[in-house]
Structure 1
């Protein structure tokens, strides 16, 4: 996993100091660095963007306080490609605020993956399982079953376009996607017994097929956690809006 560590530097006591700041604009998360001159006027005009991170399909999590003595208040932002940025801020409250904000915008802007077509590549759970007959407690291989060439399974690339749905529409859409992911996970777990019967233990095909199965299971679990965090973030925002409207009356 690619770890990219960025610290939020404190302002020194000298007249010229380096200052870092974090900002979120729609689906982008930016880290700025600027030279602060005491009495120097508008500091924003002197800032330089150091990095800009696309939040679509990202997930931010609080890191435990024991993560680092030098960084007692830190959070991690994992991108869709697996890359991870670690940010250190000033307090637990700031960590909670940043992770909540980042996950909210990731939830608003991320479009759920489309259901892909069925290809002709075999990962260990395709047509080859038609050679496994019988009931789960008495599976057996059909006579004459041929050897199978197993390809490496890779997670689908998430959509790069932004979602244009409203908060309530996006929430409902993501909930439906979570239901679909849970069904996929249940079905994926059910086929493991057939796969174990279809391939001879310790063979290359068996090792590849089971490796693919594990990879897809981990992917589905991660996606369920990610989209559940998205739904929680939008649900919290909707609740705050409803509370504000009641207070305003």
Structure 2
């Protein structure tokens, strides 16, 4: 699959087409727009994009084109029922990724016709909106786009990227080239980085997951030492007694020996992700995300330091031992995902900032060149006008001399 548009003029035209398409569909479905997301956008004080002219330059602020789409997962570890690849028209802009199809079924076409106003129904130029159906609208918050490493999805689909949603759903998109994939990923991650609000870190909870101070500190301070093994004939009976104690404890017939065995453990679950939009300016958003990444790195280090104490806080065969370790691994995996996601966000903002600086520099150089060219043109006009004035003065003097000669001739 090749790029849909080539050249800057056609690219600018295509961005305009996508804007008109999405706006037309939004207007037709206006009754569905009173959502929490739209309410938040109306209440924003910081602009979504501080310089909207940047959208005209395409990625990482806007990207569109024809893709192949596959709904891979509906939720974590739950495959989608329909996992076919379908051709779609994708638009990423202003915090959303929308995908459209131009092959509406009869039911969708009738529904669309009923919502269409009878008078003045044509929006924009032509009836293209009549044939477009919005399949999905992805709110780019707490999402992450990532390129599938070689060989991609398969040998026949090498250029594929995944969009992971906070619900656990995953959508796959196939593009024509690796550059195209990179631009979609950069644009999707920029908007998620721009609008995602970082979670609070270090909240205090009374829920016991297996590594509270009550368990860990007690385990370090008061763990009973193992009794020395006796030598001789008494060794066998002693070993038998220990086995009996361990067996009794496994069957719950005696009190637990270690501090972790006494507590009631809850299942650890990741904290809910905030879907509220960040209201910070871009530079402040970068600072907030960087601070969050630093906090996550510190928490991850503290959490890993609990691994060794956790191993001695529970009896090896006690149910709490397995549950505590499962909780520990769940939190470790969550912290790692957060670290990867928010570092990706920071990289996306850094790339956008570098690209913006490059655009501004090129714009400044172009304006400077235009000013110099205009100045040279004005100087040329002034010199030409001066030469013309000099020639006019000379011609006028010659004409005056000829006229005076004509008056003098009869008198002689």
The TM-score with structure 2 as length reference comes to 0.53
Match of 2:223 among 127, 140, 143: 140
**Matching residue of 1:162:** 277
Q: Is the 8 A contact 2:143 2:192 kept in 1?
A: yes
Q: Which runs of 5+ in 2 are unaligned?
A: 1-76, 105-124, 226-256, 365-412
The answer for the alignment partner of 2:200 in structure 1 is: 114
- CA deviations on 1:123-177 (whole Å, 9 max, x unpaired) are 011132231235xxxx836988461111100001111100011111111110000
Partner of 1:200: 315
Aligned partner of 1:74 in structure 2 is: 160
- Aligned pairs for 1:36-185 (under 5 A) are 41-66=126-151, 67-115=153-201, 117-126=203-212, 127-134=214-221, 140=223, 145=259, 147-185=262-300
Work out whether residues 62 and 75 of structure 1, in 8 Å CA contact, stay in contact via their aligned partners in 2: yes
Partner SS, residue 312 of structure 2: helix
- Specify the SS of the correspondent of 2:161: strand
Q: 1:201 & 1:50 partners in 2: Cα distance? A: 52
Q: 1:7 aligns with which of 57, 64, 85?
A: 85
Contact 1:131 1:141 in 2 (8 A): no
Counterpart Cα distance in 2 of 1:114 and 1:45: 45
Matched with 1:34 is: 102
What stretches of structure 1 move > 4 A for 4+ residues in a row?
3-6, 141-144
Q: Secondary structure at the match of 2:162?
A: strand
Distance 1:6 1:226 in 2: 28
Cα RMSD, aligned residues only: 2.3
- Structure 1 residue corresponding to 2:347, chosen from 205, 228, 232: 232
CA distance in structure 1 between the partners assigned to 2:275 and 2:84 by the alignment: 25
SS at match of 1:179: helix
Mapped contact 1:24–1:102 kept (Cα < 8 A):
yes
**Quick one: distance in 2 between partners of 1:141 and 1:54?**
54
**Structure 1 pair 113–6 and aligned structure 2 pair: CA distance change class (3 A):** farther
TM-score (norm 1): 0.85
Deviation at 1:73, TM superposition (A): 1.3
CA-to-aligned-CA distance 1:16-39 (integer Å, 9 cap, x gap)? xxxx20112322211111139xxx
Q: Alpha-carbon deviations, 1:108-137, whole Å to 9, x = none? A: 010001236422211011132231235xxx
More strand by share: 1
The Cα shift of 1:6 comes to 6.5
Deviations 1:180-235 (A, max 9, x none): 00000000000111111101113210000000100100110111010000000000
- How much has 1:45 moved relative to structure 2? 4.0
* C-alpha spacing 1:85/1:2, structure 2 compared with 1 (3 Å): farther
Structure with the higher fraction of residues in helix conformation: 2
Post-superposition offset of 1:107: 0.3
Instruction: Give, in whole Å, the separation in 1 of the partners of 2:332 and 2:219.
Output: 21
Contact 1:71–1:88 (Cα < 8 Å) also in 2: yes
**What number of residue pairs does the alignment pair up?**
232
Higher alpha-carbon Rg: 2
